[in-house]
Amino acid sequence: MKSAAFHLAVLATVAFSVMAAGRHPSEILDTTPPGFSIEAAKATRPSWGFVRHTQQSHNIQKMQGSHGKTNIKSVAAILGAYQRLSGLGYGYQNITPTNAYGTQYATEVLFNGHPLYLLVDTGSSDTWAVQSDFDCLDYAGESIPQIACQFGPAYPDSFQYGATEPAQHMFIRYGDGEIVAGPMGYSDVTLGNITVTKQEICLANTTYWFGNNRTSGLIGLAFPALTNAYLGSGLDHNRGSRIEYSPLFTSMVSQGKVPPVFSIALDRNSTGILAWGGVAPAVGMNTSRIASLDMIIVNMIDRPEASYDYSFYTIIPDGWEYDQTKSTKKHPYIVDSGTTLNYLPPSIAVAINLAFKPPAVYLWQYGAYFTQCDAIAPPVGVTLDGITFWFNPVDLIYRGWVDPSTNLCMTAIANGGAGPYILGDAFMQGAVVVYDVGEAKMRFIHRPYY
C-alpha cells in the first residue's frame, strides 16, 4: 500500500489511473514506446484560472550554471540504460566524459543552516549531499582520493534529527554507471525563504562520480515513485526492501509552505530562476502566449518492479516544424532540467541535423550530431497547445563543445531512439516552464530568444 505522503495534493502520481474524462492519452499517440505505459495525471485541486496561471512567485532563488558531463544525472541516461538492459536494442547513448561538457544548473540549499550548492533535477526525486568523510571510488570500485570525484565543499555535519528508524539507505546507480549511496535521515532543508522541516535526505558516504568542483549533491523535484531508499545500511539493496518516502517538493507542499506548483526559467548565460508556488519572474516572458498541456505519467512496464521506479513530467506536443517541414505525429516528451540536449524521434532528429548548413554528421563515440561551429542552423520549433516555440538558433549549436579530432561542434538535437523523448535545457531556455502538479498540467510561457 502506498504511503500517506504519496496521496497528498502535490502528487500527480496518484494518476497511475486512467483519465477522468476525454480520450486516454495512448489513443492520441502515433506510437507507444515499447516497455512503457502512458496514463494521464489527475488534478488534485480546482483550476486557478488565467490570472493565477501568470501570478509571479515571491519565493524565488537564483540558479547558477556549472560545466559538467551532459548526461550524468539525466533522464536520458536512465531511459537509455533501461532500454539497453532490457534488450530492446535501441535507446539513448551517453555522452563521453572526455570533451562533451554542458551546463548543469545548481542552486544554494541549506542543510540545517549550512549552505551547499546542489544540482537541480526535475527528472529524479532524491535530495542528497556528500559527507566530509565520503569514500570516492574509481570505475573498478577501488578507493581513490576524494578530489577525483570533483565535488564542491562536503556537508560537515550529521543529521539534525537523527537517522531514520529503522535504518534506511539510499542507493542510486545512474545510467552511465555512476553510484551514490549513503544513510538516510532527517534535517531541515531551506530553499530561498522556505524551510522544509524534518525532510528525509541522504548524506552520501560512497560515490563513483564525475563532478564539476562546485556542486555537493543534488535536489530531485519529481515524484515519490522515483525515490531510492532501502531498508538497512551499506550498499545492499533489492526491490523488496525499497521504502518510498516524501521527497523535497512533496514535503514542501504537504507542510503548507507553497501551493503545488513550481517553475523554472533558464538563461543561456548559465543563470536561471527557480520559483516555488508560482511563476518565475523572467525577462522577456510573453504572458499572452501560454501553452497548457496535460501532465502524463510514463511508467516502464516491461518488468514488474520498473512500473514504480521511473515516472517523469511528461507531455504530448502537437508536433514539430523545421526547415519548411511540419510533423504532427504525437509522441510523449519528458521535460527535464537535468538533460542538456533535446532527444527526438529518429526521423525528425536526422532531418533537422541534415538541414544544418553544412549538414551535421553523427559521431558514434559521442552518440550525438556535430556540425561546423559556424554553421547556419535551420528554423526549428516545437508546437505546444497550438503555439510554436521556436528555438533560438544560438541554442542549436554548442560552440563550446568541440570534438578535437574533427573541430566540429555538437548540435542540440539528438536521436531519442524509441522514446519517450526529451525536451531539455536547450528547449527550456526559450520558455518559462511551470510544473503545475496540483492541476496535473505543464504550462509553458513564451520567452523568445532569452
C-alpha 395/C-alpha 389 separation (Å) is: 13
Active-site residue flag, 121? yes
C-alpha 124/C-alpha 84 separation (Å) is: 20
C-beta separation of 310 from 78 below 8 A: yes
Strand segments, DSSP code E, in 179-300 are 179-191, 194-208, 217-220, 229-231, 242-243, 262-267, 271-276, 290-294, 296-300
C-alpha 255/C-alpha 196 separation (Å) is: 7
Q: State which H helix or E strand residue 83 sits in.
A: helix 75-85
C-alpha 385/C-alpha 319 separation (Å) is: 10
C-alpha 295/C-alpha 273 separation (Å) is: 22
Active-site residue (options: 294, 336, 395, 436): 336
C-alpha 79/C-alpha 123 separation (Å) is: 11
Active-site residue flag, 294? no
CA distances from 95 to 102, 403, 432 (A): 10, 12, 27
Active-site residue (options: 121, 176, 318, 436): 121
**Torsions phi, psi of 353, nearest 5?**
-65, -30
The number of helices, as runs of H, and strands, as runs of E, in the chain is 6, 31
C-alpha 35/C-alpha 57 separation (Å) is: 38
Q: Name which of 277, 203, 283, 278 is nearest 447 in CA terms.
A: 283
Point out the residues that are catalytic: 121, 336
